[in-house]
């Protein structure tokens, strides 16, 4: 088995999670660490025994010992790096959000389509968690009956000091937003993916407690229409006193499931016996979750997603989360921002 040689571009907060997951896989070699700040690259290299560092990602892409790159940089650079990597013949795994503007999303999707021989995936690790996969399967097989509503909620706290720590955070030009595009996007993706897609969105956002610190939103809400015809809501704030509190709600005409902080909190079915079976099933799925590297709210999916991408590189198949599929969640978040600007409902494209 030929080794899969990996370069990590961007050595900030999320990079060690990627490096840790790659290091656990047999036949994978971490060969390069790249960051605009040389000390960051050197630290990641020292921590994970990565032999080479660079400050210019194009130097990494010219290197002969890179098959796959993890793009872990600020949002505004994702499209430029991912497109260049694909054009250089490298496989790509890009952190969320795929891009902070629609033009960047389009550029990555088009570059991936132009290189069908290369793997290109977007990071949405919560799709790999057994609980989310089981809920998606239950809805797809009709266990909840006709789907009526589904919602996602995130309440967390990001301080002014957090935004001051990196110049790109809290800016439209470089982050593309705040709580929606950075923190809540994981739960927005889970909601969209579990429900089988969103066709329309209408949203609003505000800066309630970070005036003078950020130019983007710290609080937002949206109504959505799913492709199935069900309706739902998204609510998010990073101004809450809660450290991190997430919830997903799914309501059909035969049953309801609520996931609170990544655990099944409520399972209520018209058929009580069926509800008890489903509750036991979801509890078992939760027990099957293995704690992952990084912050607790990252969940356990990063190692599974990275293992999936490496296997896709080896076998020539598409990754489980393709660039086109990740793009649909970026489209949804960007659609909320566009709805706020225009005061109109936004129709979303189907890409995957």
pLDDT of residue 296: 55
CATH class of 128-290+330-347: alpha beta
pLDDT digits (tens, 9 = 90+) for 210-228: 999 999 999 999 999 999 9
For 297-345, the DSSP string reads GG-SHHHHHHHHHHHHHHHTPPPSSBHHHHHHHHHHHHHHHHHHHHTS-
CATH 3.30.360.10 intervals, the chain: 128-290+330-347
pLDDT of residue 251: 98
pLDDT digits (tens, 9 = 90+) for 63-75: 999 999 999 999 9
Mean pLDDT value across the chain: 96
pLDDT at residue 143 greater than cutoff 90: yes
pTM for this predicted structure: 0.95
pLDDT of residue 242: 83
pLDDT at residue 287 greater than cutoff 90: no
DSSP structure class, residue 81: H
Per the DSSP assignment, residues forming a β-bridge with 156 are: 244
pLDDT of residue 334: 98
CA 277, distance to chain mean position in Å, is: 30
pLDDT of residue 243: 86
pLDDT at residue 291 greater than cutoff 80: no
Cα separation of 72 and 115, whole Å? 21
pLDDT of residue 352: 86
| Residue 243 near residue 296, CB atoms below 8 Å | no
Mean pLDDT computed over 285-303:
69
pLDDT digits (tens, 9 = 90+) for 221-262: 999 999 999 999 999 999 999 889 999 999 999 999 999 999
pLDDT at residue 339 greater than cutoff 80: yes
Task: Tell me yes or no: is domain 4-125+302-320 CATH 3.30.420.10.
Answer: no
Q: Which residue has the tokens 């025994």?
A: 49
pLDDT digits (tens, 9 = 90+) for 161-177: 999 998 999 999 999 99
Q: How confident is the model at residue 29 (pLDDT cuts 50, 70, 90)?
A: very high
CATH 3.40.50.720 intervals, the chain: 4-125+302-320
């Amino acid at each position: 088995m030929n080794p899969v040689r990996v370069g990590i571009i961007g050595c900030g907060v999320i990079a060690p999670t990627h490096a840790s997951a790659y290091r656990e896989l047999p036949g994978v070699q971490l060969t390069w660490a790249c960051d605009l700040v040389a000390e960051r690259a050197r630290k990641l290299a020292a921590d994970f025994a990565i032999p080479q560092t660079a400050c210019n990602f194009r130097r990494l892409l010219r290197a002969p010992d890179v098959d796959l790159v993890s793009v872990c940089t600020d949002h505004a650079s994702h499209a430029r790096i991912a497109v260049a990597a694909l054009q250089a013949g490298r496989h790509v795994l890009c952190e969320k959000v795929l891009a902070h503007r629609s033009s960047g999303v389009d550029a990555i999707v088009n570059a991936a389509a132009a290189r069908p021989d290369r793997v290109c995936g977007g990071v949405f690790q919560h799709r790999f968690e057994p609980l989310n996969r089981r809920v998606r399967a239950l809805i797809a097989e009709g266990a909840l009956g006709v789907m009526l509503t589904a919602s996602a909620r995130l309440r967390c706290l990001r301080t002014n000091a957090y935004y001051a720590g990196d110049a790109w955070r809290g800016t439209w030009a470089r982050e593309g937003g705040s709580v929606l595009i950075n923190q809540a996007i994981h739960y927005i993706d889970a909601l969209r993916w579990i429900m089988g897609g969103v066709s329309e969105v209408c949203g609003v956002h505000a800066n309630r407690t970070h005036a003078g610190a950020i130019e983007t939103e710290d609080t937002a809400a949206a109504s959505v229409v799913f492709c199935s015809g069900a309706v739902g809501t998204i609510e998010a704030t990073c101004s809450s006193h809660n450290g991190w509190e997430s919830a997903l709600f799914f309501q059909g005409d035969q049953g309801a499931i609520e996931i609170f902080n990544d655990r099944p909190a409520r399972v209520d079915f018209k058929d009580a016996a069926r509800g008890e079976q489903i509750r036991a099933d979801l509890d078992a799925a939760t027990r099957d979750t293995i704690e992952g590297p990084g912050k607790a709210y990252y969940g356990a999916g990063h190692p599974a997603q990275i293992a999936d991408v490496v296997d896709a590189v080896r076998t020539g198949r598409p990754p489980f989360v393709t660039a086109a599929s990740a793009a649909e969640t970026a489209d949804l978040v960007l659609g909320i921002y566009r709805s706020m600007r225009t005061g109109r409902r936004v129709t979303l494209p189907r890409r995957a």
